[in-house]
Structure 1
Amino acid sequence: MAEAIVWKVYEYSSWIMKMIYLNLLWIIFSLAGLVVFGFFPATQAMFAVTRRWILGEKEIPVFKTFWQAYKAGFVQVNIIGYVLTILGVILYIDLKFFQQSEHLLFSVLAFFIIFAMFIFFAMILYIFPMYVHYKFKTLEYLRKAFVIVLGKPLNTIMMIVGSYLLYVFISMMPVLLLFASGSLVSLVLMWIAMRSFPKYDVKVSGV
């Protein structure tokens, strides 16, 4: 009995250390790319690691897996990330413009922009899990994410609710922000996303 308890403590401690290590890699490699060029590749590399864990590959070399994914996706994921950034800025500017007008038509348009932003946010939650799970052409990821958001509404709600609960949990325990915020979020979102993905023919291999 005592041996089983010790083993469980060791197992949980090992997982906590892996989560902390992965989170530190995410921060370091985001900074290594001056954040502007490092954040998106580091984030998808983090998701690449958590994807392997969810698939049952618990003993993978974390640094090697992270580094390979970071290098392989550096250019493509930055393009995807900044396309999304530009779209987000456009939606935000449109919303502010329509909200400043008292005209009924603009009020209706503001409502549609808010709905579009909701869909857009859900797409962002799917992008990184989809990127590390499938191999598509660059802009095809955006279309596939859009299809999943609309085609799997219950899973999409789970993604949004899950991200909100994680936000609340992390805000209650600020220490997680430095030590496990990114890795914890990626693990949860990857787990939910993999239950939403259709079985496309083309999948990522070796990542």
Structure 2
Amino acid sequence: MNNVFGRMQPIFEWITNLAALNITWLVFILPIAYLSVLLVLVENTSQVLMVLLTIVILSPFLLFPATTAMFGVVRKWFMKEEIKIVKSFWTFYKENYKRSLSGGLILSFLWLMGVVDYLYIKSDVSFVNYIVLFILAILFLYTLYFFSDTVHTESKLTQSLKNVLIITVANPIFSFGIVLICIFILYVSFTHLPFLIILFIGPFIAILGFYGYQKVFTTIINVQK
């Protein structure tokens, strides 16, 4: 019996750490989390746009710094460093706030344009819908890699945005696989397993995003040697 509990302990620790990180992240983005739920419930297009605009306005100040901090914690896990989750989260939050805010302003604007375009054309030609959805998927990947690059390198914002673009297109098949897994997790969480949203969804996406970034980043560095 003791052997069974001994083997299960690392699993319980991982579950606890994932839940602690996700809950910490949700606390920091609570207004956006509420608006995101509201976005799913509203049906009128004008109401959707109003809620969406509010999320976009708040995202650079709340979502981007908090998500960067979450990626910082995940990076430490990849480096196998022992950390205190809440303390480390707060440290990364403060250290990267200005950088995350600046990048968030740019990326939030791009997200707004992409989503608004999709909402206005979704009832028209289906082929165009797929193109816009594909662009949004690429933007999603780019955003994940931006968070990863912010906590992994010390390059300036403009250089980071260029580097992330290169990393995004460097291995499109592998990276797009990461996107599909993330989308699947989001779909299952919102449609079948809502408890994942409360406990695990943020770290799950961050782990996949940083894993993909690190693989492509390492490959590029090795090629340049």
Aligned to 1:49: 73
Any stretches of 5+ residues in structure 1 without a counterpart? 201-207
Alpha-carbon distance between aligned partners in 2 of 1:121 and 1:109, rounded to the nearest angstrom? 18
Amino acid at match of 2:153: Y
Distance 1:146 1:9, change over 3 A: same
Q: Specify which of 200, 208, 220 is matched with residue 180 of structure 1.
A: 200
Distance 1:97 1:168, change over 3 A: closer
Distance 1:93 1:173, change over 3 A: closer
Amino acid at match of 1:181: I
Aligned to 2:148: 129
Alpha-carbon distance between aligned partners in 1 of 2:143 and 2:217, rounded to the nearest angstrom? 15
Alpha-carbon distance between aligned partners in 2 of 1:97 and 1:173, rounded to the nearest angstrom? 30
Mapping 1:1-207, distance limit 5 Å: 2-31=1-30, 36=58, 37-57=61-81, 59-93=82-116, 116-171=135-190, 172-198=192-218
Alpha-carbon distance between aligned partners in 2 of 1:6 and 1:111, rounded to the nearest angstrom? 49
Alpha-carbon distance between aligned partners in 1 of 2:5 and 2:127, rounded to the nearest angstrom? 61
TM-score by length of 2: 0.73
For the aligned residue pairs, the C-alpha RMSD in angstroms reads 3.0
Instruction: Say if 1:41 and 1:78, in contact at 8 Å, map to a contact too.
Output: yes
Alpha-carbon distance between aligned partners in 2 of 1:42 and 1:130, rounded to the nearest angstrom? 15
Instruction: Say if 1:20 and 1:180, in contact at 8 Å, map to a contact too.
Output: yes
Amino acid at match of 2:111: G
Relative to total residues, which structure has the larger helix share, 1 or 2?
Answer: 2
What whole-Å deviation, never above 9, does each CA across 1:64-123 have from its counterpart, x for those lacking one?
A: 211110001111101101211112223445567788999xxxx99988766544432321
Distance 1:101 1:31, change over 3 A: closer
2:67 alignment partner, SS class: helix
Instruction: Say if 1:22 and 1:183, in contact at 8 Å, map to a contact too.
Output: yes
Alpha-carbon distance between aligned partners in 2 of 1:80 and 1:110, rounded to the nearest angstrom? 27
Q: CA deviation at 1:46?
A: 0.6
Instruction: Say if 1:123 and 1:145, in contact at 8 Å, map to a contact too.
Output: yes
2:104 alignment partner, SS class: helix
Q: CA deviation at 1:7?
A: 0.9
Q: How many residues align?
A: 194
Aligned to 1:203: none
Alpha-carbon distance between aligned partners in 1 of 2:173 and 2:73, rounded to the nearest angstrom? 26
Instruction: Say if 1:152 and 1:196, in contact at 8 Å, map to a contact too.
Output: yes
The percent identity for this pair of structures is: 24
Instruction: Say if 2:170 and 2:216, in contact at 8 Å, map to a contact too.
Output: no
What whole-Å deviation, never above 9, does each CA across 1:132-191 have from its counterpart, x for those lacking one?
A: 111111122221121112111122112211212212332321111112211222122222
Alpha-carbon distance between aligned partners in 1 of 2:154 and 2:80, rounded to the nearest angstrom? 21
Alpha-carbon distance between aligned partners in 2 of 1:10 and 1:111, rounded to the nearest angstrom? 45
Any stretches of 5+ residues in structure 2 without a counterpart? 34-54
Instruction: Say if 2:167 and 2:213, in contact at 8 Å, map to a contact too.
Output: no
2:142 alignment partner, SS class: helix
Aligned to 1:204: none
